[in-house]
Chain A
Amino acid sequence: MSDAKFFQRGKIQELRLELNSDKKDRNYTRKKQTLKKIVANMTMGNDMSSLHPDVIACMSIPVLEVKKMVYLFLINYAKAKPEMAYEAIQTFRRDVEDPNPLIRALAIRTMGYIHVDKVTSCLIQPLRHCMRDQDPYVRKTAAVCVAKLFMQDRHLVENAGFIDLLREMLVDSNPSVVANAVAALTEISERSDHIQLQLNMSIASKLVTALNECSEWGQTYILESLMFVVPQEPGDAEMLAERIAPRLQHANSAVVLTAVKVIVYLMNYMSREEDIHSMCKKLSPPLVTLLSSGPEVQYVGLRNILLVIQKHPEILKNDIKIFFCKYNDPIYVKMAKLEIMFRLASEHNVEQVLSELKEYATEVDVDFVRKAVRSIGRLAVKIESTAQRCVEALLELIQTKVNYVVQESIVVIKDIFRKYPNQYESIIGVLCENLDNLDEPEAKAAMIWIIGQYADRIENSDELLDDFLYTFLEETVEVQLALLTATVKLFIKRPTAGQDLVPKVLKWATEEVDNPDLRDRGYIYWRLLSTDVAAAKAVVLSEKPHISTETDNMDPVLLEELLLHIASLSAIYHKAPTTFIPHCKPRFLIPSPALRRQNYNAGRTLQHQDSYSSLHNSAQYQQSQSNNMRSQRFDGDDSGNGGLDEFVSSPKQPQHQRLSYHEQSFEQVAEASIGNQEYYEQKINAENPYRTDTAAVGGSQANKGGGVDLMSFDL
C-alpha cells in the first residue's frame, strides 16, 4: 500500500476514531496504518496536533515502528505545545530503562530534540546513565545528545559533568562511540567561549587507532579533531601525518579532504624538508582523484586546491592537464579550473596553457571567455618568454571583432605595455581601429591610458582623445580619471596638440564634477602645470613601478588562516570565516617548539578577529592597499592594478566592487589602515588568551587568567 493516499486531508475526527477503535487489532496493524496517515498529514503541514492525547497513548505499545512514529509526532509539535511533552514524560522515563537498547537510544535521542525545560531536566539523569550504558549503540547516541543539550543550555552541560563523561568516552572500546564523542566535543569547543579542545599526543594516537575501524563519517570527526593537536616535536607531526595518510585513499571525498587539511596543518610543525616534500607528494594524487567526482565535489576540491598550491607550489605542479576545461563542465567548475591553470602555468607548460586559453576564448559563455582572454594577458605578464605569443593570440582575438573579446583584450594589453615598455607598441594601430566599439569603462580607461602614454607616437592622439572627451561628463569616474591624466600627458608630450584640450578638461574636472578624487587630481595637475612645467613632467611622466602578477597572491596572513579551514565554507569563498559567520571562533597556528618560524609570525597576526576583519574585508582590503600606493606616486595613473586583482577574489564577485574605492579619498584610506595597524599590535600584546597555552598543553591546568578553560586530555 502506498503512502500517497494518506495525503488526502484526513479528517481529524475520523483518525481519532480509527486510533481508538476497539476492533481486534492483531499486532497493532491498524494502529500502525492510522499513525502512518497522521505522520504523513503532519509532514504535509496539516495540523494534527489536536490528536496528541490519542497519539501519546500509543507510546506504550511495544512495537518499535509505532514508537518511532509517535516520537516523530512529538518532535514536530512539542515545541509549540509543551504540555504535550509533559504527558509523554512518564513514558520517556520508562523507555530510557527499557531492556531493548534500541528503545533506550531512541528515547534519549527524541528527548534531546524536545526543547522543553521539563523534558530537559528529566533527561539529565538518564543521559548520564546512557553515557555509561553497556550497549555501544546507546553510548554513541548519548554522546551526540550531549552536543544537542549544549545548544539548548550551555551552562547545564558545563556544570553537570557531561564534558568529563565525554572525555572518558574518548577511550571507549568501540570506535563509533569514540568518533561520536569526538564529534560532540569538537562541536562544543567550536561554540563555547570557555571550552577549547586540545588533544595531547597520547590521546591523538589512540584516536588514530580508532580511525581505522569506524564509519566514514566517524573518520571525518576524528580527523577534524586532530586539528586540535599541537605537536611539540617535529617527530610527532611526522608520525601523525604518516598514520593519517592512508585516509587519503578513502572513497568518501569528505574523509579525503579532511585528511588533506590535517596533513597540511601538521606540515607546519615538521622540521625536515624531505618529510614535507614526501607529504606533498602524497597529497597530489588524492586531490586529482577528487576531480573525477561529481561537479559539486570538483568545485569544493578546486577551491581548496587553489589554497593548497599557494602554500606548497610543488603539489600538482606536473598535473596541469587535469585542470583543462571540458566544454560541458558547469561554469563554476570552469572558472575555478582556470584560476588554477593560471597559477600552475610555468615555463615548462606555458605552451599548452596558452593553446588551451585560446580554445576557451571561442566558447559561448561570456564570463568564461572574458576570464580566458584576461588570463592570456596575465600569462604574458607572468612569464616573459611567452609574452610575444600571448600578444599575437590577443591580436588574433581582436580580429574576431567579437565585442567583449576586443574590450577584454585591450584591458590586458595595457598591462602588457606597462610590463614590457617599448616592445609591443607596433600593435597600437590595430587597437585604434576598435575605438568605436568600446562601451565598457574598464576597456575605455585602458585604451585612453594607452593613448596618453603613447601620445607622441600616435599621430592623431589629440583627435582620438578629443573624441573620447566629447562625452566626458557622462563617463564613469574611472574613465574620467583616465581622460584627465591622458590629456595632461598629451599636453606635456605635444604641447601644441594638447593646448586646446587641457584647459577644457581641467575646468570640467575641477568645476563640473562632484567626485573628490577627480577634483583633487585636477587641481594638482592645474597647479603643477601653472607653476613648473618641468616638475609636472617629472611627476606625470615618471618611471612607472614594475607590475607583476605577484599582486595575484593572496595575502599570506589570510592564506595561513584559510589553510586551517580547508574543507569549510571559508575555503570556498576564500574569506576568513569570522567575516561572514557569526560567533565563529578564529583559528590560528598555536606556537610550540616545533612550529616552523615563518608560520609562527603569520599565526600570531591572526589572533584578533575584530581588528583583523576590519583590515581584511575581502577584496576591498587589497584595493585600499593598492590605492594607498598609488596615492603616493601622484602620477594619477590608474593602470597599476587595473586588471590584476581579480584572481584573488571569489569567482562571482561583481566587478563594480573594484570601482567603489574611488569614492573614498586617498588620505582617508591611508589613515584608516595605519590606525588599524597600531590598534592591532597593541591588542596582540595586551590580552592574548592563547599566549600561555604552551604551558597548558599536555597538562590539565586551565588558563583562568585569559578566560579560556583549556580542555587537555591526559591519560
Chain B
Amino acid sequence: LIYCYRKPKTKRAKRFLEKREPKLKENTKNAMLIKGGNANLTVTDVLKDIYAVKKPFAVLYKKKNITRPFEDQTSLEFFSKKSDCSLFMFGSHNKKRPNNLIIGRMFDYHVLDMIELGIEKFVSLKDVKNSKCPEGTKPMLIFAGDMFDVNEEYRRLKSLLIDFFRGPSVPNIRLAGLEYVLHFTAVDGKIYMRSYKVLLKKSGCKIPRIELEEMGPSLDLVMRRTHLASDDHYKQSLKQPKALKPKKKKNISHDVFGTTYGRIHMQKQDLAKLQTRKMKGLRKRPAEKSAEDGGVSPKKSKSS
C-alpha cells in the first residue's frame, strides 16, 4: 500500500493488501504444499498429513506442478507471491531420489533456504488407530541429539523445522490444552520425526506426569541436498526492527529478594513553604499573629 501503482478501490481490496504488506509484527507464516510432476502415493500422503497438522496455516495444491526447485526457483516464488506463503514443502519421486521432500522458506518472496530430505519410512495419521487431537493445536517441539548443534546444515534444518511447525505466536496457553508434541531425533545420519498425543496423569505434586500415545505422522528422514542462504543474506533476514525491542524502563531496579525499587527525581523544595497536614490545634491565634506582625493593623478601617 505504501507504494501502490493503483489505489485499491474497495475497502475489501485495501484490507487484502494491508494484510500482505511488510509489518512490524508479522502474520503467522503460511505453508504451501506442492506435488511435483512425478509424485507418488507416499509423498502425496505425507503432504496431506502435514496439511492436516498445519491447518489452517497451510495451502495444499491439488494439481501436480512440473518444476525442479533446485534448478529453477521462479515458479515457487510466483506461487509464494500469489498465495502469500513463506514456507513450502515440495514432494517428488524419481529413481535417483526416491520419496523426495524439499522443505524450504522464503524471505521477501525469494527462496532463502531449501533442504532436500528423503523419506525412508512413513506412518500416516490414518494408519495409527488412536484418538487424535483437535486441528490447530499448537505443538510442543523437542529436538534431541547433538547433531542439531554441531553440524551447520542440521542447525539450519532445526531452524527450518521450528519455523514450519511453530504455529501462531500466542501470549497465553491453556495448560490443559497441551496435547500435541513433535519430537525430532538426529541419530546416525537419520532424523526421526515422531508425533505423540500427551496425556497428563496425576502425580504426587503439582506437575502432572506425562504419558505419551503414538499418534499422527511419523517420518524417518535422511538429509540429501541443501541450498542454504549465504550468511549475510541470512543475517539480513533475521534483522528485527528496533521498534519491536522491549523498551527499558529507566529508574527501576530490582534487588536480590525481588523487591522493586524506583527512583524519583525531585526539584529543590523550599522546606519553609512545604504544605503539610493541617493541625487545627497548632494554628496561630490572632493575638500571636498580631504580635508577630509588629503592630501593623490587621484590619483597615473604612474611610468615609
Partners in one complex: no
Interface residues, chain A, with chain B CB atoms under 8 Å away: none
